[in-house]
Structure 1
Amino acid sequence: MHGKSLKTLRQDLLAQRKQFVTSSGYLTSQEVISAGLSRFLADYDGQIQSVALYCPIQNELDLRPPLLKWVANNSEKTLALPFARPDKHLDFYAWQETDLLIPSRHGVLEPDPNNPRRSQVIPDCILMPCVGWSESSEGGKKHYWRLGYGGGYFDRTLAQLRTTKPNLLCVGIGFNWQKLDDSQWQAQTHDEPLDAILTETGLLR
């Protein structure tokens, strides 16, 4: 656990990310990760028909450009955005670039669940931005973990979706410098593991 508090750890990481986006290395990292996402989608083309993305907040990496290109080149593919329910679970609705989005109470742009033109989707792949991330090993197998904002929305949603869709791919989006060691943070029993994490290094599975 972090020597100060989990709240302080998140604040430190968010401050570092705010500074990082103004650095000379940010654009390169953005290009590398976007290219890595395109390769991932090509490699898993047969498995992934729908991808849930996110509207970036607090200097999160914006992956909309490569994803919009992906659906433009594949008419049968679908993008979806999360809608936060009052019970702190997420529903996903089909999304197109011209759709009107509504700010949530957390300031996140969300789809309108009452829009009759956009159906609810259970995505094949969910992309999740990381405040921080870590890895652990058990029985010779690596596991990757996401540190988010603390609301637990993704963990609750993944725990539920994985019971009905075991082939669901959950991919964290992060930077190499966000990696945490055990002295800073360790995943708890309620944390859902990632299937992979995408950084400047590539896709870690």
Structure 2
Amino acid sequence: MDMHGNSLKTLRQDLLRRRKEFTAEKTHAPTSEHLIAKLNEFLAEAGSSLQSIALYWPIQDEVDLRLSLLAWAKSDTGRQLALPFARPDKHLEFFQWQEGDHLTPSQHGVPEPDPKNSQRLAITPDCILIPCVGWSSTSDGSNTRYWRLGYGGGYFDRTLAQLRKNKPSLICIGIGFDWQKLDDAQWSAQTHDEPLDILITESGVFR
């Protein structure tokens, strides 16, 4: 992938354009299916220890994980799904979501739950799935950490920093494709960036 200039804005635009082009390629459907299969492997392995998962509503060619997560939720009565709501203070709040709920587009065009709906409570999920525009990894020999490049609003980093203080067991999972991996010359995580606990791509579940 040709990366020109050091501007983060340019990098994001390049990655989003590449993702749009990727959806038209023959490899897109099988690659997405492989990624969803890896998510299903994770859910089969770790899903029984989770009561609530926050997903994202797919926009801009993001991988659609809804069917897998609805199946996970339906397989046990105690399980809940949640969707993020972007607050004016640029933090995310997560509200219970069920199939068929009315959603309203946010200022960024993302369908969101209605925070005034008394039937759907705000929850702190056990696990949060986050789509990556790009991703990178850093290693100190014994440990590898995974990092997400997002859309640039900082919502997830602010939210994760807060939620992790209150709920250290929280699992944050980045969802991306292998080709979205960035090297240090393209992008490296900054001090305010929150690491991912797990990265899932079509190649595997990386911890």
**TM-score range relative to shorter protein:** over 0.9
**What's 2:182 paired with?**
180
Deviations along 1:64-123, one digit per CA (max 9) or x if unpaired, are 011111112222111000000000000000000110001000000000000010011100
DSSP-derived class of the 2:196 partner: coil
Kept in 1: contact 2:20–2:61 (CA 8 A): yes
Kept in 1: contact 2:85–2:115 (CA 8 A): yes
**What's 1:98 paired with?**
100
DSSP-derived class of the 1:177 partner: helix
Partners of 1:158 and 1:165 lie apart in 2 by: 10
The letter for the 2-side match of 1:10 is R
Give the root-mean-square deviation of aligned CA atoms.
Answer: 1.2
The TM-score, its normalising length taken from structure 1, stands at 0.97
Partners of 1:182 and 1:3 lie apart in 2 by: 14
Which of 115, 118, 134 is residue 116 of structure 1 equivalent to?
A: 118
Deviation at 1:58, TM superposition (A): 0.7
Kept in 2: contact 1:2–1:183 (CA 8 A): no
Deviation at 1:46, TM superposition (A): 3.8
Q: Kindly report which structure 2 residues correspond to 1:156-171, keeping only aligned pairs within 5 A, or say none.
A: 156-171=158-173
Kept in 2: contact 1:2–1:185 (CA 8 A): no
DSSP-derived class of the 1:180 partner: coil
Deviations along 1:29-49, one digit per CA (max 9) or x if unpaired, are 111111111111121134311
Kept in 1: contact 2:175–2:200 (CA 8 A): yes
**What's 1:85 paired with?**
87
Identity of aligned residues (%): 62
**What's 2:21 paired with?**
19
The TM-score, its normalising length taken from structure 2, stands at 0.96
DSSP-derived class of the 2:77 partner: coil
Partners of 2:163 and 2:4 lie apart in 1 by: 30
Kept in 1: contact 2:104–2:113 (CA 8 A): yes
Partners of 2:41 and 2:169 lie apart in 1 by: 19
Partners of 2:69 and 2:48 lie apart in 1 by: 16
Partners of 1:72 and 1:47 lie apart in 2 by: 15
The letter for the 2-side match of 1:165 is K
Kept in 1: contact 2:6–2:186 (CA 8 A): no
**What's 2:63 paired with?**
61
Kept in 2: contact 1:38–1:66 (CA 8 A): yes
The letter for the 1-side match of 2:105 is P
Deviates more, 1:150-159 or 1:133-142: 133-142
DSSP-derived class of the 2:85 partner: strand
**What's 1:191 paired with?**
193
Which of 196, 199, 202 is residue 200 of structure 1 equivalent to?
A: 202
Unaligned runs of 5+ in 1: none
DSSP-derived class of the 1:154 partner: helix
Kept in 1: contact 2:130–2:175 (CA 8 A): yes
The letter for the 2-side match of 1:154 is F
Kept in 2: contact 1:47–1:124 (CA 8 A): no
Which of 6, 9, 13 is residue 7 of structure 1 equivalent to?
A: 9
Kept in 2: contact 1:171–1:198 (CA 8 A): yes
After the TM superposition, which parts of structure 1 deviate over 3 Å for at least 4 consecutive aligned residues? 1-4
Partners of 1:32 and 1:89 lie apart in 2 by: 32
